[in-house]
Structure 1
Amino acid sequence: MRIALLTYSTKPRGGVVHTLALAEALARAGEEVTVWSLGRGGDAAFFRPVDSAVTLRLVPFADGAGEDVGARILRSIEVLGAAFRDEDYDVVHAQDCISANAVPGCVRTVHHLDTFTTPALAACHERAITRPRALVCVSAAVAAEVSAGWGRTATVIPNGVDAARFADAAGSAGEPGRREWRNRLGRYVLAVGGIEPRKGTLDLVEAMAAVRAGRPDLSLVVAGGETLFDYRDYRALVEARAADLGVDPVVLGPVPDDALPALVAAADVFAFPSTKEGFGLAAMEALAAGVPVVTRDLPVLREVFGGAAVFAGDAGELGRVLLTAADRPDPARRSAGRRLAARHTWDAAATAHRGLYRSLV
C-alpha cells in the first residue's frame, strides 16, 4: 500500500515520535510510506534521523510575528492542506487535530482529547473527530471517551516503544552516558514533557517539596516542552511556587534524541503526574530503562501500566509515593515494567495498522 502519515511538527512531541516510529515499522513491513509535516520556523529535518525507506515531505511554515495560538493553528491547517498532494495514496492517516483538519476524510489517531475555549479551536477539535473516515485510539480509555462523546467506534492500537534503546542505556554500555548526566545533575526525579497544565507540573513542584524534605539530595529535572501553545502564565506560576518552596527545578528544555535514553536511565524516579494522557509513551520508555515510574491515578494509565507503575492522586500523595520509590525501589515492579515495555513493539503496532488499512481499502 501507498500510505501517507501526517503530523504537525518536526519537534519531539509524543505524536511526532509516534508518527516516525510507525512510519519506519510500516516501511520495514514492505509498505510505501510518506510522512508529511510542517517545517516550522525554517526546520528542514525532524528532531532525529529517519530511515531512508520513508519518504519525507516537509512543508515550509514561517513564523508569524505577533500571531496568537489560535491564528497559528488555523494557518497551520491552511498551509498543510494547501500543500498536501494526494498522489494516489491508498491511505492518508493524520496523527493530530491539525493534520486531520488539513486533509478531511482521512484516518485519524486520537492520542488524547483536548479542551479548547475559543470557538474556532473548539470547532477544529470537533471536525477532527467527526470528519475522518475512521478513528484510531492508543488506549481503550480514550476510545471509550470518543464513543461516549461522539458515538464513534475507534480501533484501539497501543503505542509501540523502542524498549531496547532505553534498556541499553541502563546497561553497562550506557554507563558513560548515565555518569555524564549524574555528574551534571546529581541525583534527580525526572519529568519529560515540559512545563504545562496537562503535564501536572504545579502538582509535581508541590510534591517535590515533600520529597526534598526527606531526600534533600534529590532535585527535580524537567526535559522537553516543544509545543504550539503559549504556557507562559502557567510557567510563571510554577516558577513562583517553586521559589516559594525552595524546589528550584532544573529545566533542560528539548534534549537531543541520542542523549535522552541516558538521561532517563540515570534518574532515580520518573514522575508522570499528567492530568490527561492517551497512553504515556515517555513513562513506558522509563520502564524500559528499569526506572521506577510514579504516575497520576487515571483510568487510562491504570489500563496501560497496571502493576508496573505506582499511582498517586493529589500532590501530597504524589510526594509520599515519589519518596518511597526513590528510597525503596521494588525489583519485582521493575522487572514487570521492563517486560511490559518489551511487549509494546512498533512492529506489532504496524501489523495492526496494516490490518485496519486493508479493511478500509
Structure 2
Amino acid sequence: MRIALLSYSTKPRGGVVHTLALAEALAAAGQDVTVWTLGRGGDAGFFRPVDPAVRLRIVPFPDGPAGESVGERILRSIATLREHFDGTGYDIVHAQDCISANAVDSCVRTVHHIDHFTTPELAACHERALTTPYAHVCVSATVADELAAGWGLKAEVIPNGVAYERFADTDPAARDRWRRRLGRYVLTVGGIEPRKGSLDLLEAYALLRERLPGLQLVIAGGETLFDYRDYRTRWETRAAELRVRPLVLGEVPDDDLPALVAAAGAFAFPSVREGFGLAAMEALAAGVPLTVRDLPVLREVFGPAARYAATPEALAAELAAALTGDDPTRRTAGRTLAARHTWAEAARRHLAFYRCLG
C-alpha cells in the first residue's frame, strides 16, 4: 500500500512526533510510506533522524513578510503545501492536522484534539479540516465522541503508541547530569501556552515551593505556529508577582529528552484540552509519577496510573504527594499502561482501517 502522511512542521510537537513514529511503524510493516511536511525557517530535515525506509518530502517554507499575522501564515502554509503536494499514485493520503487537511482535496484525517479558534482564518481552516475528509481517526474515544456530538462524524479510535524502551531504559549517567544541573524538579513538556494550562501550573508551583523549598519547575518544548506573546507576558508577570523563577529550557535535543524526563521527580500535565497526552505517557514509561488535569479524556487514557487535579491548589497537593510518597502500585500501573501502547499495534490498526476504506 502506498501511503502519504501529511504534517505541518518538522519541529517536535505531538502531532509531528505521532506522524514520524506511525510512518516508521507502517514502513516496518512493509508499506510504502512518504511523509510530506513544510520546512519552516529553512529546515531541510526533521527534529530527529527518520528511518530511511520512510521517504521524506519537505517543502521549503521561508519566513513571511514582516508583520505577517497568524491567519495569514496559516493560509500561506496551506497554499504552499497544496502547490507542491503530488497526490497521484497514493492509495491513502492521511492528514495529521488542519493545515495539511486543507492542502489536499481528499484525505483521511486524524483529529488529535478539537480546538476553538476566534481568528477567522483559523476557525475556517479548523472547520474544513473536520468536515471535508472522507474518513476520520481519533486517538481517544473522548475526542471521537466530541466529533460525533458536534459534527455528526464517526471516527475510528486508534490510540497513540509510545517509544517505551526509549524512556524506560535511559542512561543513569545522563539522568545524573540532569539532576546535577537542575536539582530536584517537576517537569512539564509543551511550552508556555493557554492549552497547556501554564498559568495554573505556575500558581501550583508557587504553592508547592512553600512545602518543598528548593524544588525547581522545568518547562521543556514549546515550538508552535501561534503567537502566544501576550500569554507569555502574563505568565512572566505572574511569576514575578509570585516570586518564582521556573526554568524554561525551550526545545530540548531529541537524544537528551528521555533522560530529562526520567530524572524528574514528577511530571505535571495540566492541559485544558488534549486528545491523548503523549508526553505524559512517555513520563509513565520512564517510571515518573504523573499528575494531570482532571479531564474526561485523561481519565480515559491514564486511569489509575495518574493523579488528577482540577485546580492549582489540587495540582500542588497532588504533586507534593507524588514527590514525597513512594507509590509503587501506581508506578507499576503506569509502566504497564505505557508498554501496552506500541506503535506496531497502532500501525496494524491503521492498516486495517485503511483496507476497510476500499
Taking structure 1 as the reference length, the TM-score comes to 0.98
Q: How much has 1:120 moved relative to structure 2?
A: 2.1
Q: Provide the C-alpha distance between the structure 2 equivalents of 1:329 and 1:256, rounded to a whole number of angstroms.
A: 30
* Contact persistence 2:7–2:97 (CA under 8 A): yes
Report what 1:44 is aligned to: 44
Q: Provide the C-alpha distance between the structure 2 equivalents of 1:118 and 1:228, rounded to a whole number of angstroms.
A: 13
Q: Provide the C-alpha distance between the structure 1 equivalents of 2:240 and 2:174, rounded to a whole number of angstroms.
A: 30
Report what 2:132 is aligned to: 131
2:152 corresponds to 1:151: yes
Report what 1:168 is aligned to: 169
Q: How much has 1:183 moved relative to structure 2?
A: 1.1
* Contact persistence 1:219–1:247 (CA under 8 A): no
* Contact persistence 1:135–1:154 (CA under 8 A): yes
Report what 1:112 is aligned to: 113
* Contact persistence 2:74–2:121 (CA under 8 A): no
Q: Provide the C-alpha distance between the structure 2 equivalents of 1:75 and 1:20, rounded to a whole number of angstroms.
A: 23
* Contact persistence 2:220–2:250 (CA under 8 A): yes
Q: How much has 1:360 moved relative to structure 2?
A: 1.2
- Partner residue of 1:281 out of 272, 278, 281: 278
* Contact persistence 1:204–1:315 (CA under 8 A): yes
- Partner residue of 1:356 out of 341, 345, 353: 353
Deviations 1:250-298 (A, max 9, x none): 0000000000000000000000000000000000000000000000000
Report what 1:64 is aligned to: 64
Deviations 1:49-101 (A, max 9, x none): 00000000000000012211110011000000110001310000000000000
Tell me, which stretches of 5 or more residues in structure 2 are unaligned?
none
Deviates more, 1:270-279 or 1:236-245: 236-245
Q: Provide the C-alpha distance between the structure 2 equivalents of 1:166 and 1:38, rounded to a whole number of angstroms.
A: 28
* Contact persistence 1:292–1:329 (CA under 8 A): no
* Contact persistence 1:107–1:135 (CA under 8 A): yes
Report what 2:325 is aligned to: 328
Give the letter for the 2:21 counterpart.
Answer: A
Report what 1:318 is aligned to: 315
User: Matched residue pairs, number?
Assistant: 357
- Partner residue of 1:214 out of 211, 214, 224: 211
Residue 295 of structure 1: SS of its match in structure 2?
Answer: strand
2:269 corresponds to 1:269: no
Report what 1:94 is aligned to: 95
Residue 78 of structure 1: SS of its match in structure 2?
Answer: helix
Q: How much has 1:240 moved relative to structure 2?
A: 1.1
Q: How much has 1:136 moved relative to structure 2?
A: 0.3
Fraction of identical pairs, as percent? 70
Task: Output aligned runs, 1:65-84, within 5 Å.
Answer: 65=65, 66-84=67-85
Give the letter for the 1:62 counterpart.
Answer: P
Give the letter for the 1:29 counterpart.
Answer: A
2:288 corresponds to 1:291: yes
Give the letter for the 2:248 counterpart.
Answer: V
* Contact persistence 1:100–1:132 (CA under 8 A): yes
2:298 corresponds to 1:301: yes
2:251 corresponds to 1:251: no
Give the letter for the 2:351 counterpart.
Answer: R
* Contact persistence 1:61–1:79 (CA under 8 A): yes
Give the letter for the 1:199 counterpart.
Answer: K
Residue 15 of structure 1: SS of its match in structure 2?
Answer: helix
* Contact persistence 1:10–1:45 (CA under 8 A): yes
Q: How much has 1:164 moved relative to structure 2?
A: 0.6
Give the letter for the 1:87 counterpart.
Answer: T
Q: Provide the C-alpha distance between the structure 2 equivalents of 1:360 and 1:340, rounded to a whole number of angstroms.
A: 30
Deviations 1:203-235 (A, max 9, x none): 000000111101012110000000000001101
Tell me, which stretches of 5 or more residues in structure 1 are unaligned?
none
Give the letter for the 1:41 counterpart.
Answer: G
Aligned residues: CA RMSD:
0.6
Q: Provide the C-alpha distance between the structure 2 equivalents of 1:81 and 1:119, rounded to a whole number of angstroms.
A: 20
Q: Provide the C-alpha distance between the structure 1 equivalents of 2:28 and 2:241, rounded to a whole number of angstroms.
A: 52
Report what 2:28 is aligned to: 28
Task: Output aligned runs, 1:182-201, within 5 Å.
Answer: 182-201=179-198
Q: Provide the C-alpha distance between the structure 2 equivalents of 1:176 and 1:115, rounded to a whole number of angstroms.
A: 43
Runs of 4 or more off by more than 2 Å in structure 1? none
Residue 169 of structure 2: SS of its match in structure 1?
Answer: helix
Q: How much has 1:244 moved relative to structure 2?
A: 1.2
Q: How much has 1:118 moved relative to structure 2?
A: 2.1
* Contact persistence 1:22–1:350 (CA under 8 A): yes
* Contact persistence 1:199–1:275 (CA under 8 A): yes
Q: Provide the C-alpha distance between the structure 2 equivalents of 1:253 and 1:209, rounded to a whole number of angstroms.
A: 21
* Contact persistence 1:94–1:109 (CA under 8 A): yes
Taking structure 2 as the reference length, the TM-score comes to 0.99
